[in-house]
Structure 1
């Protein structure tokens, strides 16, 4: 049985507090009372496991001021306001600020119980969703591979959690090397189909006849593999390079999707890898198929838009390759950090992986620079500078964060060792770690 929701009752009149509390307690709620808004704010916060019922007119901080503070901390917290008889402007103001609903004195206790029930159900759903999102984002190994604290990566993880819980087909597009297939895996891993089949087919790797057979059959008696659409039944079918499907196969795929109805028996995740200038998946897919797939859509951010994520990724990758090759990872200078941040990265994360591995091999030999790797990687990489400059402060802060992060990692969270190596007093180190969102517990 679900735990009873709490109800915080805020009213400066003791008789009113006790009356509301007793009535709601009889209805099965766990109540707590406060004689002032100031006292209530000491307890009420974003994770409060319940709802609030508050009078509007109170000495000191009134109900509207309390409501504004509560909405600022958690706009989803249901707050039911109690207004005086005929005090319409107050009620309107409360609803405008974000109140769940209001009760007009003298109120019907049954009406209060009904409002409390609706508000509690809404609160329980909000808290359950938050818990689920924390579990998914914190506990899924694939989600943890989506490294980065940039706004675009935060949005990407949110999109994956949202679309993973949905059940429609998905289109993933974006530049080459941005990690579209990894996102397809993540969508499957955080959704209700996580325990079911995940089947991936590269549409560009097969000739049309072979692709038709692989996707839809019929299979020959000697074949041991089911058609992909059957193999993935109940799970997820990922179609890489979906734009390589011929008009005939597009029509057949659409027909299969239409036959499945809603919710889809097999979820289709289509990945578009268009690289031609000026071309999009909408240009090459038949409109009815495109709109079926693009109802839920994720466009991958290019690496050049991810700011200091570039340094975080380079550090993690170089550490992995250094461990693999049995050597130390290369130390990145301030100038090299700026060069990594300024590079246009036409190959995105895939290119960064290549650069990180070559940097480790270079460092092991004791020769070469990151700049030389960037310049030699592709002709289009010259010059190293991107067309979009950044303030010097951004480069300095990105390098500083990387330096503290690397040093904390190397010393396994030993504050004393980090202070000694970086010649920083304890207070300064604490301030910089707080500024950059670094926590000692992550390195222990």
Structure 2
């Protein structure tokens, strides 16, 4: 609980308001008193920083009606109701419709304090989460670097915010270049350990024996081991599967000891983000990790989607990075034509976002020389472009739209291996409409099976 947690005390009895107010003020609350629900409703908004303590039986708007009104103002606002002995059934009904709790008069002051403290803690967590989501919307936290409007990326950002508050170990999976390290940085920055730097090590960048010594220390290693440097913060292990069997055993031992240590004055507090480009296998040991370590690390799991399934995010990301490079190189950013846009959307992107960033930089350097042929850059990356036009050719808007529509349907059919039902769901098309468009563009389901 914050030292100055606010509590609105609502009761038509002045003596009770005064006594409860004095008691809670001595317990580091900031009380605000109201003699009626009507007076309180004029002040309380979704931004109200505290909790509500209200009598049930009051003239005018009673406690039950007040509860319903406050539920519409802010469902996350904790409301504690004070009841007489005969009002307990009513209080139970209040709990059913959303009250935080109730307390019977005459109440034990310590019991009241305990209840208000718990409610204030709940309110604080609610407001902190809202602040995080507001910052995300305002583009002011590291989660902003997980760009895109695709539902998969929106879900990823939501998962980052939720898992950041959970404070458990996280296994982050995804293909090379998808942005797994960005997700890890965002997780740390949005969590309770953000005030301390995250310790990051690429397990594939060092020899196994050197890595083990760097992580856990040794007689010939005077530096503080990385697991100790990350105590109280986060240890991010990129390419976790590159850990040797010996290092995996020692990491598991450290994690188990942190959980089981009940005797130390300050046991180790270590959060681990394990990053891997491998896909968990359905049989045998998941990833190239010992099974007990895998399940210790995979209590929470985050999957970063590949670029090729993110649809129009590909164009959004290309425009974003090309503008950044254009500013760096002091030139105009390239403007996508319909042909280049269609080819960007259908490229397989084996290197994912990292490959797209590289292509955006080369496109800007190309534009700086007065040229623009983004499709040629894709060919240089080994992609056979399906859409091509003579340089400088002009086409009516209708032809651009049709070419783009054909590309989207073709791309969806390839991704879903000819499953018409999956394509219908992805593109939100009725079966008859999809069949007509496939016939129009000469697309046969058999070619994708």
Mark yes or no: TM-score above 0.5.
yes
How has the CA–CA distance of structure 1 residues 238 and 335 changed in structure 2, closer, same or farther, with 3 Å as cutoff? same
Work out whether 1:170 is the aligned partner of 2:170. Answer: yes
Other-structure match for 1:323: 327
SS of the equivalent of 2:17 reads helix
| Paired positions, count | 381
- Contact 1:78-1:119 at 8 Å conserved across structures: no
How has the CA–CA distance of structure 1 residues 73 and 309 changed in structure 2, closer, same or farther, with 3 Å as cutoff? farther
CA deviation after TM superposition for structure 1 residue 173, in Å: 1.4
Q: 2:183 and 2:68 mapped to 1: Cα distance?
A: 38
Work out whether 1:390 is the aligned partner of 2:427. Answer: yes
CA deviation after TM superposition for structure 1 residue 41, in Å: 3.7
Work out whether 1:134 is the aligned partner of 2:113. Answer: no
Q: 1:280 and 1:42 mapped to 2: Cα distance?
A: 62
Other-structure match for 1:270: 274
Q: 2:170 and 2:144 mapped to 1: Cα distance?
A: 21
- Contact 1:170-1:270 at 8 Å conserved across structures: yes
How has the CA–CA distance of structure 1 residues 6 and 215 changed in structure 2, closer, same or farther, with 3 Å as cutoff? closer
CA RMSD of aligned residues (A): 4.3
Candidates 353, 360, 375, aligned match of 1:356: 360
- Contact 2:9-2:21 at 8 Å conserved across structures: no
Q: 2:119 and 2:199 mapped to 1: Cα distance?
A: 37
Other-structure match for 1:100: 100
- Contact 1:100-1:119 at 8 Å conserved across structures: no
How has the CA–CA distance of structure 1 residues 286 and 4 changed in structure 2, closer, same or farther, with 3 Å as cutoff? closer
SS of the equivalent of 2:427 reads coil
Q: 1:264 and 1:176 mapped to 2: Cα distance?
A: 32
Other-structure match for 2:241: 243
- Contact 1:193-1:236 at 8 Å conserved across structures: yes
- Contact 1:167-1:264 at 8 Å conserved across structures: no
Candidates 290, 298, 302, aligned match of 1:298: 302
SS of the equivalent of 2:286 reads helix
- Unaligned runs of at least 5 residues, structure 1: 393-444
1:35-434 alignment to 2 at 5 Å?
Answer: 35-36=36-37, 40-54=40-54, 63-81=63-81, 86-87=86-87, 89-103=89-103, 107-108=105-106, 110-111=107-108, 114-115=111-112, 118-127=115-124, 130-131=127-128, 134=131, 142-148=142-148, 152-153=152-153, 155-161=155-161, 163-164=163-164, 168-191=168-191, 193-194=193-194, 196=196, 198-216=198-216, 218=218, 220=220, 228-229=226-227, 232=230, 235-261=233-259, 264-274=268-278, 282-303=286-307, 309-332=313-336, 345-370=349-374, 373=377, 377-379=381-383, 385=408, 386-387=411-412, 388=423, 389-390=426-427
Q: 2:280 and 2:294 mapped to 1: Cα distance?
A: 18
- Contact 1:7-1:30 at 8 Å conserved across structures: yes
Other-structure match for 1:435: none
Q: 2:31 and 2:216 mapped to 1: Cα distance?
A: 57
Q: What is the TM-score of this pair, normalised by structure 2?
A: 0.67
SS of the equivalent of 2:93 reads helix
Other-structure match for 1:3: 4
SS of the equivalent of 1:284 reads coil
Q: 1:243 and 1:184 mapped to 2: Cα distance?
A: 17
Q: 1:156 and 1:57 mapped to 2: Cα distance?
A: 46
Deviations 1:226-284 (A, max 9, x none): 65445655554332211123434322332343345555455433211116997998243
How has the CA–CA distance of structure 1 residues 279 and 82 changed in structure 2, closer, same or farther, with 3 Å as cutoff? same
- Contact 1:203-1:241 at 8 Å conserved across structures: yes
- Unaligned runs of at least 5 residues, structure 2: 262-266, 388-406, 413-422, 430-449
Q: 2:309 and 2:59 mapped to 1: Cα distance?
A: 51
- Contact 1:76-1:123 at 8 Å conserved across structures: no
